Chain A
Amino acid sequence: MALDRKIAYIDLSTGKIETRPIPLEIRRKFLGGRGLDAYLLYNNAPEGCDPLGPDNPLIISGGILTATCASATARTHIMAKSPLTGLLGSANMGGFFAPELAWAGFHHLVIKGKAKNPVYIWIKNGEIEIRDASYLWGKSSTETQWAIREELGDDEIKSAVIGQAGENLVRYANVMTGIKNAAGRTGMGAVMGSKNLKAVAVRGTMDIKIAHPFEALEYNKRFIEQITGAKVNKTQGTLGTPFIWGATNSWGGIRNRNFQFNQMEYADDIEPERIDEICTETMGPHHMSGCFGCQVHCRAKYRIPTGLYAGKYDEGPEYTSQGAFGGEPDCKKAETVLVGNHLVNQYGVDNLEIGSIIAWAMELYELGILTSKQTDGVDLRFGNDEALIEMVHRICLRKGWLGNILADGGIPASEKIGQNSFDYLIQVKGMSNLHSDERGTPGLALNIATASRGSDHLRSRPAIDLYHLPEKVLRKIYGNPVPYDGPLSSEHTDYEGKPWQVFWQQNTYMAVDCLGICKYHTVFLGATLPNFEDWPKVIYYNTGLEFTPQELWEIAQRCNMMERMFNLREGLTRYDLKKGEMLNHRYFDEPTRRGAPDVVGRTIDREKFNKMVNEFYGYCGLDEQGVPTPETLKRLGLNQEPSHAL
């Protein structure tokens, strides 16, 4: 049974390992995955703990549906207090790690303490062992994975590992599995590095009994048809996420030259079609690969065709690689995107954060706020491909004055650089924004401002806003599973209706992350894809647990509130530019300079924006400061937290 998967508490300081069942009442309140992780974090992280200290718990999990007969249950979720933001750290990755963890008997791992020497955790069929990793220290993310397989003599071991960036405590180092699957954001790799934990390796051959196998199988088949039938997923399956970057660039929704432009010119060589050509030339016509159980297969395989890294195999590049090594630094060569993507995968660092931060440094350099002495002679102009790649190395290895301070993240770096450098940093809660520009899309701006882990598109973005769907369709989506008859708007430049849309998406994204499935299998990008009406059936067929859509909705609200409670405890303050839910002044003051007629010349209206946040807070059950009211906490059953029930 999926429900008999356990939780393991592993203390790296003492070597103590304890496994426990996950009680059903906890499942009914938090399901699993990210939701249950939020509960575990709130209960296990001491208030104000040092994110890179031994007290910060690192939580690794699969969702309640992981490895069951549901579609694309591939996602691994990782949570801890973030060394980048000092608030919630949360990152999610595809691949094959979480299913293997479930077959090895576990859904959640809570790792505390700090090992004296580099170690890795080895989990096989219910047994957990802490092993020496000194021979792995210094290795890249893939070298580490293959070395563990060789040491233990099993090619099917799946590992979640850190590369050199995590070892060097780069505060946005990620956790990697496979070639390119990355739990990218908020620096979970640095938390692993701080614990001297190089990897978690798992192998499982334990049964997961499906409650109603025939129904689960048939429903899965129906689901897959619905999912792969959506045009957006067909395109994803051909071009991968680069197609989103290409489409967004066409109307002016990406970031270019840090935040100076919202559209990149002469980008032909990094457009999705060009990248697809390179993948075809180097890997053949069938060059897409998939995560566990997923028929969307959005990962492209490629070899770098030319240059210093010619012949190197990698996977991706994603939207964020195009943004980080193309749009943001205004570099126009496909080779740079492919090399940059390869390097971040090998070093194990968040390509989104590193790309944003280098672009920020480039703007500072061109403004004269950073001098060539501070860059150690690197000519950090926009469009300088060599300087960009050099900075990736310097940050991941903490080389040079600038490389070292940029490795600490935008806000600490801005304090060291001084002057008005902070004003140019496009971040919320200390985390850089996706390489997208939300000045023409207030709903999306509300999303990045209020997302629990900092400026981020995968926590509540009403991305389907951009499709201009008929209101009837919007009503059907946003009016379930709880009734809503307020305003709704499919016009992406509107402010009306957006607070509900963001609130609704926030709950949807949370439910998805609790289930452990991929967002491409949900309404994230496809209006016709599964949501609250469908998931209770999948849960029932696979686990036997019964929920109504309304109950799932409430669980999602509860889990979101748990994350907010953690953030508030660690210092979230609404109007604080560094730890709040406020956008950089450039969103309000600098009009967009390029793009489609309805996008060019736009700013976010400060007053309307604040009104949106107020309305959003109202739906969440928060007061004007973003703090939950006592009634809300009681309604969601969170008034006794921390309850230490697990």
Chain B
Amino acid sequence: MENVLTIDYQKCTGCRLCELVCSVTHDGISNPARSSIRIVKWEEEGRYVPMICQQCEDAPCKNICPVGAISRDKDYGFLAVDYNICIGCRSCVSVCPFGAMNYNKIDKKVFKCDLCGGKPQCVRFCDEKAVDFVQSDNITALKKRNAADRLYSTQKTSAYIQEHA
């Protein structure tokens, strides 16, 4: 079963450890500019949102690539760049609606999340589970459960208020 990366931005503490481990895992280098996951922040109000590749089904990066360098991995379902074919035109960078196709100016290469070959390190290092790796047929299960819990507690509160008001 394919797993997908999911984001729960409310849980993100903004520490950017994911950026560090992503760049170290892939390049042996600490440099957030090389990280496929980035935390976008509005510090003035304490909002932090992890941004990653969504591995789109109808992927604009794959569709626009003039040389067909982007293909879907058979085992894990992520979109991969074949650097033997890539001509470095950065069309994929301009077309990605999430800014998740990146460009590394040091190596002059585009790069994106490859799910660390099925074991995403950002997920492994994020204690808060602001980024998680879950089965694709189960993405909404936890969300549903949490929402259901909220609904249920609201009902309980209302009943309590009715009884005591």
Contacts and interface: CB of A to CB of B under 8 A. Distances in A.
B21 interface: yes
Interface stretch (A83-91, A114-122, A289-297): A289-297
22 contacts: A69-B20, A103-B30, A103-B32, A103-B33, A179-B46, A205-B106, A207-B34, A210-B30, A213-B24, A213-B29, A217-B121, A284-B10, A285-B10, A286-B11, A287-B46, A289-B48, A290-B14, A292-B15, A292-B16, A292-B17, A294-B17, A297-B13
A215 to B, nearest CB: 11
A146 B44 contact: yes
B46 A301 contact: yes
B82 interface: no
Contacts of A301: 46
Contacts, number: 97
Interface string B77-113: 0000000000000000000000000000110000000
B31 A205 contact: yes
Interface string A140-157: 001000100000000100
A300 to B, nearest CB: 10
Contact of B10 (A205, A220, A286): A286
Interface in B31-78: 31-34, 41, 43-46, 48
A294 B31 contact: no
A210 B27 CA distance: 9
Interface of B: 10-17, 20-21, 24-25, 27-34, 41, 43-46, 48, 105-106, 121, 124-125, 127-128
Contact of B33 (A205, A210, A213, A216): A205
Contacts of B31: 103, 205-208
Given A224-B125, A301-B46, A210 B28 contact: yes
B127 A216 contact: no
A12 interface: no
Contacts of B106: 205, 207
Interface residues of A, number: 40
Nearest to A295: B127
A293 B13 contact: no
Contacts of A142: 44
Contacts of A208: 29-31
A294 B15 contact: yes
A45 B112 CA distance: 49
A220 B31 CA distance: 16
Interface centre among B15, B48, B106 (most CB of A within 10 A): B15
Given A217-B21, A224-B127, A210 B29 contact: yes
Contacts of A290: 13-15
Contacts of B105: 205
Given A179-B43, A224-B125, A67 B15 contact: no
Contacts of B127: 224, 228, 295
Contacts of B30: 67-69, 103, 207-208, 210
B13 A69 contact: no
A68 B29 CA distance: 8
Contacts of A347: none
Nearest to A301: B46
A97 interface: no
Nearest to B25: A217
B28 A213 contact: yes
Nearest to A285: B10
Contacts of B21: 69, 217, 220
A214 B25 CA distance: 7
A518 to B, nearest CB: 11
A285 B8 CA distance: 13
Q: A-B pairs with the 9 shortest C-beta distances?
A: A290-B15, A213-B28, A205-B33, A301-B46, A290-B13, A297-B13, A208-B30, A207-B29, A293-B17
